[in-house]
C-alpha cells in the first residue's frame, strides 16, 4: 500500500510567495475506497489494476480490499459489509449511497472488460473534492516481540457538525501470498486476444494465477465495522478534538512489516447504508522495533513531508501532515540563506493540509522550505526547472 503522503510545491506557488499574497491551509479530505473481492472471483484481479489507477489519478484515496469466502476473509467484517455489497468486484466510496446508482445497495459495480474505469471514475468524482468536517490523527506504539499494538485515532473537527460520529482503525496488509488458497482466479480474461488497454496485464495471464500477491488486504477493523464510540457529542463545535485508543495483538501469520493503519472517522445512524458514511481517513505504516529495541514509536518529527515531483512542475501542490496540535511557521529561503517569503505562522491541529496553487513563471534555481515549531525545524530543498 502506498503510505507516503506527498508534500509538493508548484511553480505557481513560488511566484505567489514572492508576490506577498496570503495563503490558506486547507485540510485534506481522503476518500476511503473499499472493494469486495475474492481469490475465487474470476473478475476480481481487476482490483489490482484499479488500485494502481487510483494511485496515479486519485492520490487522495485510500484503497482497502475486503475479502469474501476465501482464506483472507474476516467473517464479522464480511457479514456487516454485505449490507453495502451485492456482487464481486464492487466498490464503495466513503460508503456513500448514490441515488442514481441503479442497484439495491450502495456498492458501485462496473464491468472491467467494458467501461470499468470510466464508470468508477464517474462515482469517485462525486465525493473526491468534498470539504472535510474533521482531520484524522494517528499515534501508535508497537512491541514487535509481543506483537502488542496500541494505536490512538483522533478526530479534530474543523467545522461545526451534528450527528453521531465514531472512530475506527483498520489493519491493512500488503504482499499477502501463500499456497493454492491464495491463487487468483482469472477465467474471465484468460485467452483474450483483445480488450481494453488497461486489462492487457490480465489478458496474458492463465485462468489461475499461481503465486498471486494480494495487496491492500483488510485484516481487521479494531472498532468493529460500525466504529467505536469516543465520547463525541451529537453537536460538535469546530476546534474540538476526540480520541479513541485501540489495543490489539497482531496475529503471528500477519506480516507486521507489511501492515498499515488506517484511521477513520465515520458516521453512525439507524440506516446502515444511508446514515453511516465515512467522514475522513488517514493511512500510516505500522512502525515496528528490533530485537534490541522492541518498542518503537512513530518518528517524532512534528510534520511529515516530502517533495514530489522535484524538480517541481506546474501541477504540483504543497501537502503536509501535522502530528500534534501546535504553532507552526513556514518560510522560503534562497541558497544564500536569505528569506524570500514568510509563508505562514499558524496554529494547526493534527491532520493533513494542502496549500492551493496558482499559475506563475519563475526562473530556474534551488530554494529551501523551512517548517518550524517551538523546538525544532525541518528543511527541504526544492529545485525549479522549467
The model carries a pTM of 0.80
The pLDDT assigned to 315 comes to 55
Q: How far apart are the first and last CA of the chain?
A: 32
DSSP 6: P
Of residues 208 and 381, which shows the higher confidence score?
208
Give 91-128 pLDDT, tens digit per residue: 999 999 987 665 567 888 887 777 789 999 999 999 99
Among candidate residues 116, 119, 154, the one with its CA nearest the CA of residue 135 = 154
In the structure grid, which three cell numbers stand for residue 78, read together?
Answer: 464480511
CA 202 from chain centre, in angstroms, equals 26
- Bridging pattern class, strands 235-236 and 339-348: unpaired
CA dist 92 and 36 (Å) reads: 9
Instruction: Report domain extents, the chain.
Output: 11-27+300-384, 31-297
Q: What is the mean pLDDT of the chain?
A: 83
Architecture of domain 11-27+300-384: Sandwich (2.60)
127-179 per-position pLDDT tens digit: 998 989 999 989 899 999 999 999 999 999 989 999 999 999 999 999 999 99
The three cell numbers of residue 301 are: 518529527
| 3-state SS string for 360-372 | CCCCCEEEEEEEE
**Percent of the chain at pLDDT above 70?**
82
C-alpha cell at position 90? 464492487
The Cα 257–Cα 250 span in angstroms is: 11
Return the DSSP state at 26. E
Whether 11-27+300-384 shares its CATH topology with 31-297 is answered: yes
Phi, psi for residue 18 in degrees, rounded to 5: -70, -25
For 278-301, the pLDDT digits (tens) are 999 999 899 864 333 333 333 447
CATH number of the domain at 31-297, please? Answer: 2.60.40.10
Amino acid at each position: 500500500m502506498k503510505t507516503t503522503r506527498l508534500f509538493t510545491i508548484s511553480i505557481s506557488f513560488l511566484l505567489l510567495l514572492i508576490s506577498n499574497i496570503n495563503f490558506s491551509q486547507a485540510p485534506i479530505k481522503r476518500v476511503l475506497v473499499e472493494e469486495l473481492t475474492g481469490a475465487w472471483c474470476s473478475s476480481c484481479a481487476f482490483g489490482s489494476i484499479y488500485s494502481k489507477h487510483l494511485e496515479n489519478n486519485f492520490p487522495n484515496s485510500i484503497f482497502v480490499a475486503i475479502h469474501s469466502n476465501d482464506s483472507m476473509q474476516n467473517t464479522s467484517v464480511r457479514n456487516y459489509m454485505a449490507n453495502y455489497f451485492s456482487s464481486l468486484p464492487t466498490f464503495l466510496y466513503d460508503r456513500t449511497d448514490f441515488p442514481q446508482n441503479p442497484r439495491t445497495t450502495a456498492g458501485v459495480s462496473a464491468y472491467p472488460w467494458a467501461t470499468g474505469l470510466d464508470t468508477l471514475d464517474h462515482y469517485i468524482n462525486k465525493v473526491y473534492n468534498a470539504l472535510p468536517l474533521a482531520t484524522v490523527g494517528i499515534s501508535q506504539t508497537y512491541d514487535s516481540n509481543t506483537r502488542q499494538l496500541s494505536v490512538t485515532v483522533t478526530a479534530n473537527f474543523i467545522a461545526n457538525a451534528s450527528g453521531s460520529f465514531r472512530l475506527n482503525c483498520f489493519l491493512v496488509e500488503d504482499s499477502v501470498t501463500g499456497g493454492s488458497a491464495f491463487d487468483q482466479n482469472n477465467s474471465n480474461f484468460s485467452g483474450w486476444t483483445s480488450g481494453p488497454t488497461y486489462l492487457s496485464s490480465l489478458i496474458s495471464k492463465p485462468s489461475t494465477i499461481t503465486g498471486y500477491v494480494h495487496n491492500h488486504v483488510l485484516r481487521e477493523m479494531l472498532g468493529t465495522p460500525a466504529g467505536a464510540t469516543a465520547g463525541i457529542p451529537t453537536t460538535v463545535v469546530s476546534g474540538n478534538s476526540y480520541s479513541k485508543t485501540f489495543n490489539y495483538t497482531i496475529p503471528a501469520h500477519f506480516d507486521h512489516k507489511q501492515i498499515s493503519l488506517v484511521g477513520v472517522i465515520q458516521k453512525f445512524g439507524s440506516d446502515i447504508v444511508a446514515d453511516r458514511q465515512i467522514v475522513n481517513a488517514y493511512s500510516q505504516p505500522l512502525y515496528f522495533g528490533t530485537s534490541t529495541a522492541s518498542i518503537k514509536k512513530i518518528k517524532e518529527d512534528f510534520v511529515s513531508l516530502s517533495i514530489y515531483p522535484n524538480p517541481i512542475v506546474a501541477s504540483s501542490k504543497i501537502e503536509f501532515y501535522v502530528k500534534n496540535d501546535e504553532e507552526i511557521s513556514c518560510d522560503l529561503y534562497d541558497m544564500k540563506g536569505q528569506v524570500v517569503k514568510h509563508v505562514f505562522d499558524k496554529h494547526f491541529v493534527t491532520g493533513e493540509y494542502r496549500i492551493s496553487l496558482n499559475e506563475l513563471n519563475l526562473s530556474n534555481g534551488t530554494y529551501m522550505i523551512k517548517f518550524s515549531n517551538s523546538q525544532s525545524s525541518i528543511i527541504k530543498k526544492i529545485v525549479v526547472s522549467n
